[in-house]
Structure 1
Amino acid sequence: MAKNPERRTALLDAAIEVLADEGARGLTFRAVDARAGVPTGTSSNYFRDRDQLLSQVGDRIFVRLTPTPESVETAFAPAPSRELLVELMRWIARRLTAERTCYLGLFELRLEAVRRPELRTQLTRVLRSDLDENVRGHLAAGMPGDADTVRLLYFALTGLLLDHFTVPDLHGDRHLDELIETVVTRIVPAA
């Protein structure tokens, strides 16, 4: 296996683009090589098989989607409130929208995980860890609501973003920010 970390990262980023644009069935070594602009066969020098490529694509997506600790600290700086939760949800949605390709790639990985138990195990572990961290952060910050509040917000934002990226006209002229505010005010108890 080749050891150039910059090339591996470039191949993984190209694979994310292929996954988002063409779906899991379109994710081949040849497609990744073409998207990365490298000679045919390069990807197979970095990944032993498609399963390893999918697994490492999942890891790379989470690296790209994870905010910096400084940005999290800044986002949580205001006093805990339902209004802050609205802003935090909007902040998350903006970050994920900025990484649209990654988020679409994650949707594709979720669908592929239905057919690949090892990928499902990996995604479950990573997503559970992320959700658990969100619950811990929410409770530690003294935000309104409990662990189930965080889970409901997670379910809602995941669904809203799925709609936003795949069928953006589904909600007519209602802007994502407005939908997020509606979700938070309906889920999070008033102070």
Structure 2
Amino acid sequence: MVRNEARRNALLDAAIDVLAEEGARGLTYRAIDAKAGVPAGTASNYFASREDLMSEVAIRVTQRLTPSEESIAESLALPRDRSLTVKFMHDIVKRADADKASYLAMMELRLEATRRPELRTALTKTFAANLDFNIAFNAESELPGDRMAVILLYFGMTGFIYERLTLPDVAAMTDLDEFIEVLVTRAIG
């Protein structure tokens, strides 16, 4: 197995761009190599199969969308109340707007997972771990809301972000600030 992590990440980033631009059908080793600007055959040296590649892309998307430790520490210095939860939800939208390709790639992977059991298993593992992390983070950080509140926020924000990315005119029918305020209030009380 090839171990150049910088090149591996560059290939994964290229795969994210290809997925966002071309969809899952356009995700080929050749397209990844071209997008990454590397010699033909490079991607196939790093990823043994299409399933392996897609699973690794899901992990890379999670890495790209995870806030920095500094950002989290800065936020946790604020009072741990409903307004901090609102801030965290706005931060999620800002990261989605800043890295639309990652969200679009993830949408493509989720659709592909409906046809590929191995990918479904890998994505389920990745996203279940992410959701478990968020539930634990909320509790350990003593933020308001219980487990179900975090789950409601997770699914509410995921759906809203996907709507903003795919059908922005529909999402624009709802004021973002109002949506987040109401979602947080209804989720945590």
Q: Same fold (TM over 0.5)?
A: yes
| Structure 1 length-normalised TM | 0.91
Name the residue aligned to 1:170: 170
What per-residue deviation string (whole Å, max 9, x for no partner) do you get for residues 26-72 of structure 1?
A: 10111111111222222222222212211211121122122222221
Contact 1:20 1:101 in 2 (8 A): yes
Measured in 1, the distance between the counterparts of 2:91 and 2:131 equals: 17
Aligned match of 1:91: 91
> What is the Cα deviation at residue 174 of structure 1?
3.5
RMSD over aligned Cα, in angstroms?
1.6
Unaligned runs of 5+ in 2: none
Q: TM-score, normalised by structure 2?
A: 0.92
Give the % identical residues: 50
State the match for 2:138 in structure 1.
138
Matches of residues 124-135 of structure 1 in structure 2 within 5 Å?
A: 124-135=124-135
Letter in 1 for 2:154: Y
Select between 46-55 and 11-20 the one with higher mean Cα deviation.
46-55
CA distance in 1, matches of 2:162, 2:176: 11
Distance (whole Å) between structure 2 residues aligned to residue 136 and residue 163 of structure 1:
27
Asked if structure 2 preserves the Cα contact closer than 8 Å seen for 1:164 and 1:176, the reply is no
**Alpha-carbon distance in structure 2 between the residues aligned to 1:127 and 1:90:** 20
* 2-structure distance, mates of 1:170, 1:132: 30
Q: What are the Cα deviations for residues 140-162 of structure 1, in whole angstroms up to 9, with x where unaligned?
A: 22222211011001110001101
Shift in Å at residue 16 of structure 1?
0.5
Alpha-carbon deviation of 1:168?
0.6
Aligned length: 189
1:11 maps onto 2:7 in alignment: no
The letter for the 2-side match of 1:171 is A
SS state at 1:136 partner: helix
CA contact (8 A) 1:8 1:46 kept: yes
Q: 1:18 touches 1:35 (CA, 8 Å); kept in 2?
A: yes
Judge conservation of contact 1:61–1:106 (CA < 8 Å) in 2: yes
Shift, 1:117, TM fit: 1.4
**Does the 8 A contact of 2:16 with 2:101 survive in 1?**
yes
**CA distance in structure 1 between the partners assigned to 2:62 and 2:41 by the alignment:** 26
